[in-house]
Amino acid sequence: MKKLLKYTFKIGLDVLFAVPLLVVAVVSRFVSKSFDIGMGPEPLISYLYHQRSLALKGFSSETFVIGGSYITHNFDFNADQQYAGIVRLFRWHLLFIRAVFRYRCLYFSFHGGPLMGTGWLRIVEPYLLKIAGIKVLILPYGSDVQDMTRCPNIAFTSALAKDYPLQRSDRQRIARQIDRWTRHADHILAGCDWVDYLYYWDTVALNNFSIDTDLWKLNSQNQTSASTIKILHSPNHRNVKGTVYFQRAVEELKQEGLDVELVILEKSSNETIRRFMAEIDIVADQLIIGWYAMFAMEGMALEKPVLCYIRPDLLEYYTDQGLLLQDELPIVNCNTANVKAKIRELVESESLRREIGIRSRNYILKHHSLEAIAENFDKMNQAMNLQPSGLINHE
């Protein structure tokens, strides 16, 4: 009953705001905007790096979110903080009004833009944004595209069901939002294993994530020197990351006499992760999904060898697309069957750890630095006929 009342209230709010939002969309089309690009409303740390990349190409941008994340809170505008009292009930609608008067283009995931938290208004959001003359670039990141009926990786489907059993009730909604924004977005970027779930994209990349290589950099004060080889693992969902396999492998190696330790950090801020990662020897990312993302990239930027399962078909595809050279990816590719052997090799050879670490840092500089991702965004913006306004706004 509580869920039904909440849904009914959402629909009522949407009916109340429908005509005003249409008028707002029409009026905003003729209003000069403060920023070239707005990124939100989900609190994704990747948007903070995107903001810096865009600035390198002259694009002004702002992050706008609803809610927060234990990873970081450093966003430009948080509706939950700005809208208090009864006004918070309308925060999604107010965020849309703010966005259409403020940005020329929006970057968001397949979950949708400022109206993603509404009822049926999120269905008409693409039309309202077109009326407002606002361009849309879709940047998937994971749960926004994971219609598991399209997934070829049975192990991933099984693990996700264990970590998120309620996701089964969202499958149709996810499929609809993929269809909605595939039809209406101005540009769609695909990458990672997201290509499994999408049937169209304009640009394909290794992923859409960038990293500040000046911030994520080793210095002489945080070089490892302890005799115990430490492996850092930070699972936000243990089954999907294959945590138990890392634990089992390390425990067996310890019983065999190797001086190795698995450090597990969960629900930690990005600053905490960076501090711990700088002082360990090896990064353990995941053994199930089949591609790498931010955590692996952070490890590589800090010159750490990264343990991660890379699906052969994805590696072949991205190599065929010219995004990778043969044998360029420095990740220590391992799976549930051979992870123990791969860890042993790294633990027993400091020179191997160092060699892979150096290659990893160079790989990040080439493919995922702010400068590298800036080139990708510039090309996609140009494809949408979006030129920088020349006004870098620092409000």
Element (H, E) at 39: strand 35-39
pLDDT at residue 333, as a whole number: 98
pLDDT at residue 220, as a whole number: 65
User: 318 to each of 300, 322, 324, 330, 379, how far by Cα in Å?
Assistant: 19, 7, 6, 14, 19
Retrieve residue 211's tokens: 């990293």
For residues 60 and 36, give the distance between their C-alpha atoms in angstroms, rounded to a whole number.
5
Burial (CB count within 10 angstroms: exposed 0-12, middle 13-18, buried 19+), residue 87: exposed
Per-residue burial over 120-158, b if 16 or more Cβ lie within 10 Å, else e, is: ebbebbbebbebbebbbbbbbbeebbbbbeebebebbee
What kind of architecture, by CATH, is found in domain 2-210+372-383?
3-Layer(aba) Sandwich (3.40)
What kind of architecture, by CATH, is found in domain 220-368?
3-Layer(aba) Sandwich (3.40)
pLDDT at residue 269, as a whole number: 86
CB 85 within 8 A of CB 115: no
Q: Terminus-to-terminus CA distance in the chain, angstroms?
A: 44
pLDDT at residue 270, as a whole number: 87
| One pLDDT digit (tens) per residue for the chain, 395 residues | 666 666 677 788 888 899 999 999 999 999 999 999 999 999 999 999 999 999 999 999 999 999 877 667 789 999 998 998 888 889 999 999 999 999 999 999 999 999 999 989 999 999 999 999 999 999 999 999 999 999 999 999 999 999 999 888 999 999 999 999 999 999 999 999 999 999 999 999 999 999 999 999 998 655 555 789 999 999 989 999 999 999 999 999 999 999 999 999 988 888 899 999 999 999 999 999 999 999 999 999 999 999 999 999 999 999 999 999 999 999 999 999 999 999 999 999 999 999 999 999 999 999 999 999 999 999 999 999 999 987 555 44
Residues of the chain with CATH 3.40.50.2000: 220-368
DSSP state of 224: -
For residues 131 and 184, give the distance between their C-alpha atoms in angstroms, rounded to a whole number.
12
CB 306 within 8 A of CB 283: yes
pLDDT at residue 268, as a whole number: 84
